[in-house]
Amino acid sequence: MKRAMISVAKWAWFGLLMLIAFGYMASGLSKPGEVDENETPTGVRQVSAENAVLDGAEQLAETRIPTLDAAAGASSAQLNSSESVDSIESVVDAVNLARQQAMLDAEVESAPTADWMTICRRLSLAMVGSGMSLEEIRHLESLPASERESAHLESLLHDGRFHDYWGERWMRYLVNDEGPFLVFRRRRFGHWLSENIAANRPYDAIVRDLITAEGLWTDRPQVNFLTVTFDSNDGSPDPVRLAARTCRAFLGLRIDCLQCHDDFLGNVNLGDADDRRGGRQQDFHQLAAFYSSAKTNGLQGVRTEDVDYKFQYLDADDTVDVEATVPYQSDLLPQDGNPRERLAHWVTHPEHRQFSRAAIHRFWALMFGRSITDAVDNLPLDEAANPVLDPIIEDFQSHRDIHRTIRIIAATDAFRADSKADYEITARHENNFAAFPLTRLRAEQVAGAITQASKIKSIDRQSSLLVQLMRFGAINDFLKRYGDLGENEFSKDGITIPQRLMMLNGNVLNEAAKSEPLLNTTGHLKSFAKDDSLAVDVAFLCLLNRHASEAEVEYFADKLQQADGRGNGLVDLFWMLANSTEFAWNH
């Protein structure tokens, strides 16, 4: 009896402790300071159509919320306030003027403006990682031609698929690797990024949150920016990796080599704007020292303590205390305060142009699918700025508004230019913004485009769980085989033989193309397309996001007639379209 009582008492004591710990975390006490008002996501959702119709736009238009109005009405107050500050038109005009000058200097002529469907496909690929669904196309066709691009852009800006996709793309440069078990929660981190992008939090606020993150990785998702480095620093944030990541991700600077030695090869230039100097080993470690203030403190997660960084420099006899300071523009660094808050303040300071420059280069690359420089995270301080991007960088310095920046880029002549013309397009045209650059779709864009093309309706968060799971599974399988570029996501490589083999004979495309009654595109077409010409045209819309030309309708309708059954003919058509250059490249 006595033993039983003791056992009960022990368990009760244990339960009480657990309750206290849980209550502590749930109360938010694990985060010092006030709750960030900006953190509430809005995540305006778009409503999918209940039914898709193969040959009519009108019914579909009625089943979908008119996105321009919806966006205007449902946008967060923050979004509206940023929109009302000033117009983006002057910025777009300045970019277009600089583009004109670049073309003049390069002696190249601009390609004509692309048609609205091509531009909308570019927006979809860049923002949600797949082409447009037939449902979206039919809806846009129901709108006046002049409104379609902006309607689609606004719709995407408030589409959960955009927030999730950009959250995933951001993770590539913020954390990249899988991180240590348990203490790095990739999904939590991705979801937090997605929420911030949905709420259109100012970019500098997001970056400050990452650098100054405190608390538990489960309770405060931004802490995962730090915990991903736990494995190399005995369970605490690793100052060295975080310094390198901060420079690359937020400043577009590669100073990793300074970790081991001074720059004796002339690769790293630091110093003030007018007084460049070679990078020193001290520059790297003094920056890393800021992160030495981040310590793991049991159930409280990451906390801030004093800077405690010691290092033995190359060829030095002794280990020395390293002061936390920054490699250039030190006048922007606050003298006092929490070490990581000082660093965050310097990184995101409005006068720290390199921060805005790095962000705009990255957003531009995300929209176009390629960087205008060799590497998006290698923007030397002594390199001349690109005049075309300059107006956007200046705008970003004052607004820090992600959605606004996307609107600006999408509205530029460079983004809207065609990739073809009635004269010979060359790489010179592309490099001087005269024609939209042909860029290979990333692996997940190809997979996303295949799975989306296999369905008439948009696959989004409102799709059935089964459809979402199928999409998730198909993309994961595809990524493993097709090759994920990871951090090198903007490399300018051509398509490869293994990738072509996978598209010619692989399972993902085979599954997407096969005719299943009512469940997928070929099944729908087989059952409901009233004639072969319509079936061909709809297949082109689903896969290539454009109408088939007369010659194409004639050619492929004839192919359908010759096929061994309409179902097989449609499967073949799906295969041919998905295997084309046009499908696999953004144009």
Partner 1 sequence: MLTAIANQLAFADEVAKTDPHQRKNVILLWMEGGPSQLETFDPHAGTKYGGDVKAIPTSVKGIEFADTLPRTAERMHLGTLIRSMTSKEGDHQRAVYNIKTGWRPDPTLVHPAIGAVLCDEFRETLDIPRHVSIVPGQWPAKGGYLGPIYDAFKMGDPNSPVPDLKARVDAARMEQRLAGLDFLESQFRRGRLSDLDQNRTLHESSTKAALRMMSSEQIDAFDVSGETAATLDAFGDTPFGRGCLAATRLIEAGVRCVEVNLNGWDSHINNHSLQSSACETLDPALAALLDRLEERDMLKNTLVVCGGEFGRTPTINPAGGRDHWPHGFSMFLAGCGIRRGFAYGETSADPIVDSSDPKFSPTVNIDKPVTVGDLHATIFKCLGVEYDREIETPVGRPLVRVEGEPIEAILA
Cα of first residue to Cα of last residue in the chain, in angstroms, is 79
Of the candidate spans 21-29, 140-148, 352-360, 490-498, the one that interacts with partner 1 by CB under 8 A turns out to be 490-498
Cα(504)–Cα(579) distance, integer angstroms: 7
DSSP state at residue 215: B
Of the candidate spans 26-34, 358-366, 419-427, 445-453, the one that interacts with partner 1 by CB under 8 A turns out to be 419-427
- Smallest separation (angstroms) from partner 1 to the CB of 557: 12
- Smallest separation (angstroms) from partner 1 to the CB of 446: 12
DSSP state at residue 388: T
Name the token pair of 302: 């990451």
The binder of partner 1 chosen from 424, 464, 465, 550 (CB under 8 A): 424
Residue 131 as a binder of partner 1 (CB under 8 A): the answer is no
Mark out the alpha helices in 27-112 (DSSP H runs). Answer: 58-63, 67-74, 77-85, 89-106
Length of the chain: 587
Residue 277 as a binder of partner 1 (CB under 8 A): the answer is no
Cα(501)–Cα(483) distance, integer angstroms: 13
Q: Which amino acid is at 333?
A: L
DSSP state at residue 113: B
Provide the strand spans (E) within 228-319.
Answer: 269-272, 275-278, 294-296, 302-304, 310-311
Q: Secondary structure of 328-361 in the HEC alphabet?
A: CCHHHCCCCCCHHHHHHHHHHCCCCHHHHHHHHH
Residue 498 as a binder of partner 1 (CB under 8 A): the answer is yes
Nearest CA-CA partner of 577 in 471, 446, 479, 460: 446
Residue 256 as a binder of partner 1 (CB under 8 A): the answer is yes
Residues in region 330-389 near partner 1 by CB under 8 A: 374
Residue 581 as a binder of partner 1 (CB under 8 A): the answer is yes
Mark out the alpha helices in 27-76 (DSSP H runs). Answer: 58-63, 67-74
SS3 586: strand
Residue 572 as a binder of partner 1 (CB under 8 A): the answer is yes
Mark out the alpha helices in 280-338 (DSSP H runs). Answer: 281-291
- Smallest separation (angstroms) from partner 1 to the CB of 132: 18
Cα(117)–Cα(544) distance, integer angstroms: 10
The binder of partner 1 chosen from 502, 538, 542, 553 (CB under 8 A): 502
Contact 222, 228 (CB under 8 A): no
Contact 217, 187 (CB under 8 A): no
Which one, 49 or 268, has the nearer CB to partner 1?
268
- Smallest separation (angstroms) from partner 1 to the CB of 162: 27
Of the candidate spans 87-95, 179-187, 259-267, 289-297, the one that interacts with partner 1 by CB under 8 A turns out to be 259-267
Residue 550 as a binder of partner 1 (CB under 8 A): the answer is no
Nearest CA-CA partner of 140 in 118, 125, 161, 114: 118
The binder of partner 1 chosen from 257, 372, 479, 519 (CB under 8 A): 257
Residue 104 as a binder of partner 1 (CB under 8 A): the answer is no
Residue 89 CB neighbour total at 10 angstroms: 10
Using alpha carbons only, what angle is made at residue 403 by residues 401 and 408, rounded to the nearest 5 degrees? 90
Residue 426 as a binder of partner 1 (CB under 8 A): the answer is yes
- Smallest separation (angstroms) from partner 1 to the CB of 513: 10
Residue 7 as a binder of partner 1 (CB under 8 A): the answer is no
Residue 19 as a binder of partner 1 (CB under 8 A): the answer is no
Mark out the alpha helices in 506-549 (DSSP H runs). Answer: 507-513, 521-528, 532-544
Which one, 20 or 427, has the nearer CB to partner 1?
427
Which one, 316 or 518, has the nearer CB to partner 1?
316
Which one, 98 or 544, has the nearer CB to partner 1?
544
- Smallest separation (angstroms) from partner 1 to the CB of 572: 5
- Smallest separation (angstroms) from partner 1 to the CB of 526: 17
Residue 105 as a binder of partner 1 (CB under 8 A): the answer is no
- Looking up tokens 């899988």 gives 178
Which one, 83 or 511, has the nearer CB to partner 1?
511
The binder of partner 1 chosen from 319, 330, 398, 476 (CB under 8 A): 319
Binding mask 514-533 for partner 1 (x = CB under 8 A): --------------------
The binder of partner 1 chosen from 51, 491, 527, 561 (CB under 8 A): 491
The binder of partner 1 chosen from 1, 77, 299, 314 (CB under 8 A): 314
The binder of partner 1 chosen from 16, 47, 385, 501 (CB under 8 A): 501
Contact 82, 200 (CB under 8 A): yes
Of the candidate spans 145-153, 203-211, 289-297, 565-573, the one that interacts with partner 1 by CB under 8 A turns out to be 565-573
Residue 476 as a binder of partner 1 (CB under 8 A): the answer is no
Residue 234 as a binder of partner 1 (CB under 8 A): the answer is no
- Looking up tokens 């305006």 gives 44
Residue 186 CB neighbour total at 10 angstroms: 15
- Smallest separation (angstroms) from partner 1 to the CB of 491: 7
Cα(230)–Cα(227) distance, integer angstroms: 5
* Chain positions contacting partner 1, by CB under 8 A: 254, 256-257, 260-262, 264-265, 267, 312, 314-315, 319, 374, 419-422, 424-427, 430, 438, 440, 481, 483, 491, 493-502, 504-506, 510, 549, 551-552, 555-556, 559, 562-564, 568, 572-573, 575-577, 579-582, 584-585, 587
